[in-house]
Amino acid sequence: MFAFTYKKTGHAQARLGNLVTPHGQVNTPAFIFCATKAAMKGLTVDHMRQAGTQIILSNTYHLLLQPGPQVIEKMGGLQKFTGWRGPMLTDSGGFQIFSLGHGSVASEIKGKRLHHRPKTLLKITEAGARFRSYLNGQEFLLTPESSIQIQRALGADLIVVLDECTPYHVDQSYTARSMELSHRWALRSLQEFNRYAQQGRQQLYGIIQGGIYPNLRRQGCDFVNSQPFFGHAIGGSLGACKSQMQDVVALTTEHLDPKRPIHLLGIGGISDIIAGVEKGIDTFDCVHPTRLARHGGALVRPDHNPNPTREHINLRNSVYSRDDSPLEPDCPCHTCTNYSKAYLHHLLKAQELVGHTLLSLHNVQFMNRLMTAIRHALADHTFAQEKKRWATL
């Protein structure tokens, strides 16, 4: 019920692929949207389908705390619970534990400054990670085995091993020790996964850590290649700037078994996706499209942006208060075919929540249009031209 096939395209390391799951197929390169708490923020599953979405993910950490994996299992699993009957992925829960533990790992991965947040990570041991619920302070221990058990109950097609998500500001020797712990956890995850022989219903991704250190990334690749994972996900810190991120991604994909799908965790910028595709990445995920919408931002192509070096416009800007044009004149989404920038500006100023829905709708459809354009251009050997239509590179 699972398969992954791909072909090289001749454009750098870019490849076109097809990922088959029990809930449907995903044409790659593809973007995986984040339905963090088993819901896309502000959007219904009809919206997601209409926007051409292939696959979404939910976060094990959030669902472990609320409503709990038992509830979702009893309700028939994530796809039945959410009404999204297509392919799904869950993460291991580790990223959020370490993110809340170390401050914001998400910022660090992208090389940004440390944010200060309440720390809920209590202790990392060989056994696993002990943390407090951000909802009610209740203590939890997440182990490689329990992460697999929770993800089994949630029932997504693609699931991920628990790893320690190494922060950016640590040195090579911490990064190495952390990676070795992640590898021991990965073996325990595989063992738990295989105990139930659930390959027919779910498949497991291994994670490559190693921070910005080429020799560690190579060791991480050797490790995952040597184990029977279905797919590989590139995790951890990717460096302090875009060029370092691209170098880390390039050297990692180069060493990974090409027969397995490669996911790049947490990256969703347009130029970052284009660069990732050129390095051989098959799938991406990020909260960016819907988070940006909640802050009043709309993804637009450079030729629709007064500042073509940016990847979005901010509809809160009063320059849009009497602008009767749509976000993008050639976008077929519900938002662009029904509403002006002036109306979206009004909704944001008036704090009407449907403003977030309409911007999210556009941003989701934008990402799907981008990925479709990438696949067509790779097939037609026009990627070098096409990519310039989507980002100032």
| Interface with a second copy, residue 293, by CB under 8 A | no
Angle at 172 between CA 170 and CA 177, to 5 degrees: 90
Cα angle 253, 259, 265 (rounded to 5 degrees) comes to 45
Pick from 343, 366, 383, 390: which binds a second copy (CB under 8 A)? 343
- Interface positions, 68-107, toward a second copy (CB under 8 A): 71, 74-76, 81-83
Instruction: Name the strand (E) or helix (H) holding 107.
Output: helix 105-109
139-142 and 129-132 strand pairing: antiparallel
- Cα dist from 302 to 12, 127, 287, whole Å: 23, 49, 21
Tell me whether residue 166 or residue 357 sits nearer to a second copy (CB atom). Answer: 357
319 near a second copy (CB under 8 A): no
Q: How far apart are CA 379 and CA 285, in angstroms?
A: 23
Q: In whole angstroms, give the CA distance from residue 36 to residue 294.
A: 15
Q: Is 238 in the site for a second copy (CB under 8 A)?
A: no
The residue within the footprint of a second copy, chosen from 19, 26, 34, 40 (CB under 8 A), is: 40
User: How many residues of this chain interact with a second copy, rule: CB under 8 A?
Assistant: 42
CA–CA dist 167, 102 (Å, integer): 7
Q: Is 338 in the site for a second copy (CB under 8 A)?
A: yes
Residue 350 binds a second copy, judged by CB under 8 A: yes
Residue closer to a second copy by CB (options 73, 254) is 73
356 binds a second copy (CB under 8 A): yes
- x-or-dash string of contact with a second copy, 166-205, rule CB under 8 A: ----------------------------------------
Using CB under 8 A as the criterion, what x/- string covers residues 44-73 for binding a second copy?
Answer: xxx---------------x---xx---x--
Of the candidate residues 357, 363, 365, 368, the single one contacting a second copy (CB under 8 A):
357
Tokens of 295: 């802050």
Q: How far is Cα of residue 28 from the mean position of the Cα atoms in its chain? A: 14
53: closest CA among 33, 77, 24?
Answer: 33
Distance, in Å, from the CA atom of 261 to the CA atom of 2, rounded to the nearest integer, reads: 12
- Residue reference for tokens 């028939």: 76
**Interaction site with a second copy (CB under 8 A):** 37-46, 62, 66-67, 71, 74-76, 81-83, 321-322, 324, 334, 338-340, 342-343, 345-347, 349-350, 352-358, 361
The catalytic residues are 91, 285
